[in-house]
């Protein structure tokens, strides 16, 4: 068995021409041709005279104002129109073959207005460990029900530490995590944390990043089956597909402004003990992929998680913004950093 590789505007609206003034430039009104003594200049006539003498300047100002109002109106109408559009669908994936179980999506307590997840789909997710529901352990291929139960428990423990344990998130507990895996793969696991390729299956907070006291919200699915790896070794393959929502401290009151989402799919292998040497017995991390949303891109490039800079206005992409909270959304996403 080989060690797993590092897991790895539309054009602006044309401006309308300023409205015509109704007079030819330089045209002399008829009343000015009459002797002044026969037609005293009253207030109304002075206003007319002012208009004729300043027709170009006034027209430019009024016309420019109308254009500005029009452009602002078009802009607001476009925002209103886009806000009212039905969001586009998004690519989804199907559950892998095998025995599956999905999270209980009923939170322990309803989200209150003060809850950092209020107003987002994560408000309906379970809190922390309660979001990881294991399927029933059954005899599968060459693996007994007891072996399946043990493998599922090992995967769950690794997930709890890697994604939810506060000490681990803060940068500790690496040795504890690595020891959860088969001895033969521990060196490659440590290498992942040296070259920052661990983010596909584990969470480390950036220096200075501060979570709220709220437990992360969790939703996903665990599936297992008996199969063989690329070397023909019999393995129990466990696939986990989860969304992890973290609440970071922020002064922005917008719902979800402080929520960073990580969506991962991880394939874990437990080889049959009769097919490998003693050092190969245990848990292996075979494949992993993930994406994150609302995070600090520069820090995430280093494998570290922190809240991204706030953004305002509607996104250019009209995909349903709640898509990132869906465990069935495809992990094939465009890089927005």
What are the extents of the domains in the chain? Answer: 30-84, 99-325
Distance between CA atoms of residues 295 and 133, nearest Å: 27
Q: What is the pLDDT of residues 181-190, one digit of tens each?
A: 999 999 999 9
Residue 154 predicted with pLDDT over 90: yes
Q: What phi and psi, each to the nearest 5 degrees, are found at residue 194?
A: -85, -35
Alpha-carbon distances, residue 43 vs 32, 46, 47, 49, 153 (angstroms): 15, 5, 6, 10, 93
Q: What is the pLDDT of residues 40-85, one digit of tens each?
A: 445 445 445 444 554 444 444 434 443 333 333 333 323 333 334 4
Best mean pLDDT range from 88-102, 204-218, 320-334 = 204-218
Kindly report the pTM of this predicted structure: 0.71
Q: What is the mean pLDDT of residues 302-326?
A: 70
Burial grade of 261 (CB within 10 A; 0-12, 13-18, 19 or more) = buried
The larger pLDDT score, comparing residue 326 to residue 88, is at: 326
Q: Among residues of the chain, what percentage have pLDDT more than 70?
A: 66
The larger pLDDT score, comparing residue 8 to residue 325, is at: 325
DSSP, residue by residue, 133-172: -PPPP--BTTB-HHHHHHHHHHHHHHHHHHHH-HHHHTT-
Per-residue pLDDT at 72? 32
Task: Point out the least confidently predicted range of 230-244, 269-283, 313-327.
Answer: 313-327
Q: What phi and psi, each to the nearest 5 degrees, are found at residue 304?
A: -110, 145
**CA-wise closest residue to 62 among 12, 17, 14:** 17
**CA-wise closest residue to 321 among 146, 111, 83, 131:** 83
Dihedral of alpha carbons 182, 187, 188, 193, sign: positive
Best mean pLDDT range from 94-103, 105-114, 140-149 = 140-149
Residue 134 predicted with pLDDT over 80: yes
Q: What phi and psi, each to the nearest 5 degrees, are found at residue 163?
A: -115, -15
Q: Position of tokens 């002797």?
A: 35
Residue 141 predicted with pLDDT over 50: yes
Residue 38 predicted with pLDDT over 60: no
Q: What is the pLDDT of residues 208-236, one digit of tens each?
A: 999 999 999 999 999 999 999 999 999 99
Residue 270 predicted with pLDDT over 80: yes
Residue 286 predicted with pLDDT over 80: yes
Could you tell me the pLDDT band of residue 97, with boundaries at 50, 70 and 90? Answer: confident
Residue 140 predicted with pLDDT over 70: yes
What residues form DSSP beta bridges with 143? 140
Residue 194 predicted with pLDDT over 90: yes
The larger pLDDT score, comparing residue 25 to residue 275, is at: 275
Q: What is the mean pLDDT of residues 81-110?
A: 65
Residue 317 predicted with pLDDT over 70: no
The larger pLDDT score, comparing residue 179 to residue 331, is at: 179
Per-residue pLDDT at 180? 98
Q: For 283-293, b where at least 16 C-beta lie within 10 A, e where not — what string?
A: bbbbbbbbbbb
Per-residue pLDDT at 96? 84
Per-residue pLDDT at 139? 98
Per-residue pLDDT at 138? 97
Per-residue pLDDT at 88? 59
Per-residue pLDDT at 196? 85
Burial grade of 187 (CB within 10 A; 0-12, 13-18, 19 or more) = exposed
Could you tell me the pLDDT band of residue 242, with boundaries at 50, 70 and 90? Answer: very high
Per-residue pLDDT at 305? 96
What residues form DSSP beta bridges with 102? 221
Per-residue pLDDT at 310? 53
């Amino acid at each position: 068995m080989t060690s797993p590789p590092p897991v790895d505007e539309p054009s602006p609206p044309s401006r309308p021409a300023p409205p015509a003034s109704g007079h030819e430039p330089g045209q002399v009104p008829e009343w000015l041709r009459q002797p002044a003594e026969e037609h005293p200049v009253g207030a109304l006539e002075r206003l007319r005279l002012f208009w004729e003498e300043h027709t170009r300047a006034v027209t430019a100002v009024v016309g420019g104002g109308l254009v500005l109002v029009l452009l602002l109106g078009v802009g607001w109408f476009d925002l209103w129109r886009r806000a009212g559009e039905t969001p586009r669908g998004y690519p989804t994936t199907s559950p892998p073959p095998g025995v599956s179980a999905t999270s209980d999506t009923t939170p322990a307590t309803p989200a209150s207005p003060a809850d950092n997840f209020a107003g987002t789909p994560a408000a309906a997710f379970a809190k922390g460990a309660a979001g990881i529901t294991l399927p029933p352990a059954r005899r599968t291929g060459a693996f007994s029900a007891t072996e399946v139960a043990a493998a599922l428990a090992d995967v769950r423990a690794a997930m709890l530490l890697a994604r939810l344990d506060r000490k681990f998130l803060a940068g500790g507990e690496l040795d504890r995590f690595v020891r959860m895996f088969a001895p033969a793969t521990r060196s490659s696991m440590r290498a992942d944390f040296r070259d920052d390729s661990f983010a596909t299956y584990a969470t480390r907070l950036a220096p200075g990043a501060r979570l709220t006291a709220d437990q992360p919200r969790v939703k996903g699915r665990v599936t297992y089956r008996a199969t063989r790896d690329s070397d023909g070794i019999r393995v129990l393959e466990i696939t986990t597909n989860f969304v992890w929502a973290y609440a970071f401290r922020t002064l922005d009151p917008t719902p979800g402004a402080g929520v960073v989402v990580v969506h991962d799919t991880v394939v874990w292998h437990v080889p049959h003990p009769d097919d490998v040497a003693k050092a190969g017995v245990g848990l292996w991390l075979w494949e992993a992929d993930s994406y994150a949303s609302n995070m600090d891109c520069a820090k995430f490039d280093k494998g570290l998680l922190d809240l991204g800079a706030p953004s305002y206005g509607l996104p250019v992409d009209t995909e349903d913004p709640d898509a990132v909270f869906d465990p069935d959304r495809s992990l094939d996403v465009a890089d927005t950093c």
